[in-house]
Amino acid sequence: MRFADLLVLSRMGVHTREDAVTAGSVGTGQPSLPRLETPRMTDSLVLAKLDAGPEIFHSLQGEGASVGTPSVFVRLSRCNLHCVWCDTDYTWNFAGTSFSHDKDADPAYRKPVRAEVQVTLSDEEIAREILRHGCDNVIFTGGEPLLQQPGIARVMTLLRTAMPEVRFEIETNGTQMPAAELEALRPRYNVSPKLGNAGMRADQCLIPAPLAFFAACDRATFKFVCAAGSDLDEIRGIVDTHRLPRQRVLLMPEATSREELEQRRPWLFEVCRQTGFRYSDRLHVAIFGSRRGV
């Protein structure tokens, strides 16, 4: 089926549950998953805006288990958390909100106006923009992509129909349970639970049910951002409490600039060597610093 035909069918509503079910099967031995509502034809996704268009770009995965993989990134707007060091705070820290952020220390810093950093696109527009890059690994990132998982599942279904070999990764803070329709498409999950250094309460960041789901899912890996030695005790506590498989836990230095990364790399490298956790570097910070869309 040509993608043009697929788009016609999708506008007629022929791209929902059946396609998702034929694309794969829901795993067993995991907590039962909620069902998504059947999407309406007006459904759409809210993405971060980069320059005049959506933040969809072709690059290499820069972190975690699939580092180095050529990928198309799709950055969703909105997040349910508000980490003080967040490097994508333009997805949630809008003018008029009361959230704190490290940037507040700069007297010249102004929060962005929501309408200037968000763009809403239809499922078909997003699928078409992704397919334009001809890349078979697609990463939904954010913000927190799972806040918009019905739309992500629909876009993934369009892509899988047009490109059966396509693989998906979803970057998540681990507080949201994936729904059955999303799971049917067998994405990999890059789960990044937040520590106290993010500036929020543990009961906001560490939700037992989704963490139990991801711990039982062998397509999930866990990334922890580490800034100091005190983070390690907290990570060990989370790994033990939520029974996260140690071989799927990666530690990554907190850094939004090359200088910070260079400062923390040797320390965390040594921590991983001594503790047995995996190390993840941050290619984008190392190569591009804090530049967006690369």
| Choices 41-49, 88-96, 115-123, 130-138; region in contact with ligand SF4 by CB under 6 A | 88-96
Give residues 220-249 in contact with ligand SF4 (rule: CB under 6 A).
none
User: Which of residues 158 and 235 has its CB atom nearest to ligand SF4 in the complex?
Assistant: 235
Mapped onto helix, strand or coil, the DSSP state of residue 69 is coil
Tokens of 78: 């909105």
Shortest separation between residue 164's beta carbon and ligand SF4, angstroms: 31
Q: What binding mask, one character per residue, do residues 68-87 give for ligand SF4 by CB under 6 A, x or -?
A: -----------x-xxx--x-
Beta-carbon contacts of 14 under 8 Å, excluding residues fewer than 6 positions away, are none
Residue 169, beta-bridge partner list: 139, 188
User: Which of residues 91 and 118 has its CB atom nearest to ligand SF4 in the complex?
Assistant: 91
Shortest separation between residue 34's beta carbon and ligand SF4, angstroms: 21
Report the interhelical angle of 123-131 vs 3-11 (nearest 10°): 170
With CB under 6 A as the contact rule, the residue among 143, 145, 187, 193 that binds ligand SF4 is 143
With CB under 6 A as the contact rule, the residue among 64, 142, 145, 151 that binds ligand SF4 is 142
Residue among 207, 205, 146, 215 nearest 181 (CA): 146
Please identify which residue in the block is written with the tokens 């995996």: 278
User: Which of residues 39 and 174 has its CB atom nearest to ligand SF4 in the complex?
Assistant: 174
User: Which of residues 102 and 129 has its CB atom nearest to ligand SF4 in the complex?
Assistant: 102
H helices then E strands: how many in the chain? 11, 11
Separation of alpha carbons 175 and 186, rounded Å = 19
Give 247's DSSP letter.
G
Residues binding ligand SF4 (CB under 6 A): 79, 81-83, 86, 88, 91-92, 142-144, 173, 194
